[in-house]
Amino acid sequence: MNPQLLEQYLSLTPEVKAALDDNQPVVALESTIISHGMPYPANVETALAVEARVRENGAVPATIGILNGRLHAGLNQQQIEQLGKSGQHSLKVSRRDIPFALLSDKTVGATTVAATMIIAELAGIRVFATGGIGGVHRGAAKTFDISADLQELANTNVAVVCAGAKSILDIPLTREYLETYGVPVIGYQTDCWPAFYTRRSEHMVDYNVEQTEQIARALANKWALNLNGGAVVCVPVPEAYAQDERVINSAIDSALQEMQEKSITGKDTTPFLLGKIAEITAGSSLQTNIELVLNNASVAANIAKDLVKIESSHGSR
């Protein structure tokens, strides 16, 4: 994009701009986890803790959102607080919504994985930490309910560090979709796809990689060869915070049944299901969600640091 045109739409915090100008590692963070993923004030506390975790690991955090008619790569504490208080009243922004979110300077827009990837790439950020990606929803053979996150991963040059796809989804079909579109699924110190709340599933990753430097080197190779699209880096939730598989699957089945009875569809499905699962598990799933995001932020920061070193040594950034 033309730099002047980009300036028309995109705002960077001074910290993020300085880091990008100085070729320092930056990690993008989404904002629907603030608005739609957790209740206030836990959402704001978590967002600030995740930013702090990125800094502790030697990178600069850039929480992404849409405020005052502009795209933002990097939010200050007041803006994060605004998103947290707006909660589910804020606009949940995916690719299709971005042009409309910019029409009003009163819009409070929280970005999904897809929208965060788009804005991160516009800003020049290539590593993004989140909780879990969207995917193919259960029953998609009839509903065709497939997250826009998957197409974004097929086309946008941003690596997404996550705890797999949310286990409310159809994991086998999500894996098939990613394979069809050539999106590598990398396990960080794991050979299987983690199921968000739990560390393991019966589905395998494409590559089990032990060091973040190896992941960064593979990403550098991919993009240097113009193999466009992102990558999914799967990081299991720390063992101390993992849910019991039988308990969480029972909670998911119960939440899915209630969702169907209430005819909840589209953008409302994930917030509803996560809320119901938190209710059924007496809040323990929320703590799991928080801890896995913090863990993902640490791994993402280290990948971002390694990627900067590798590309700087090749003179390719």
**Structural domain range at position 202:** 3-312
The CATH number assigned to the domain holding 24 equals: 3.40.1790.10
Q: Are strands 159-162 and 231-234 parallel, antiparallel or unpaired?
A: parallel
Quote the percentage of the chain above a pLDDT of 90: 73
- Residue 317: is its pLDDT beyond 90? no
**Which residue type is seen at 290?**
I
**Which residue type is seen at 313?**
S
Cβ 56 vs Cβ 302: under 8 Å: no
**From CA 116, how far away is CA 250, in angstroms rounded?**
31
Cβ 158 vs Cβ 28: under 8 Å: yes
Is residue 74, in this structure, part of any structural domain at all?
Answer: yes
Specify the number of domains making up the chain.
Answer: 1
**From CA 264, how far away is CA 283, in angstroms rounded?**
22
Which parts of 135-217 are beta strand (E)? 159-162, 185-188, 207-209
Average pLDDT over residues 76-80: 96
Residue 96: how many CA atoms within 13 Å on its side-chain side?
5
Is residue 317, in this structure, part of any structural domain at all?
Answer: no
Q: At 1, list the tokens.
A: 């994009």
Q: Which residues are catalytic?
A: 30, 166
| 313 pLDDT tier (thresholds 50, 70, 90) | confident
- Residue 1: is its pLDDT beyond 70? no
Mean pLDDT of the chain: 92
Q: Report the range of poorest mean pLDDT among 204-213, 240-249, 290-299.
A: 240-249
- 244 phi/psi in degrees, rounded to 5: -70, 130
Q: Report the range of poorest mean pLDDT among 183-187, 224-228, 271-275.
A: 271-275
- Residue 215: is its pLDDT beyond 90? yes
Which parts of the chain are beta strand (E)? 10-12, 26-29, 60-67, 70-73, 91-93, 108-111, 127-129, 159-162, 185-188, 207-209, 231-234
Q: At 258, list the tokens.
A: 């209630």
pTM summary value: 0.92
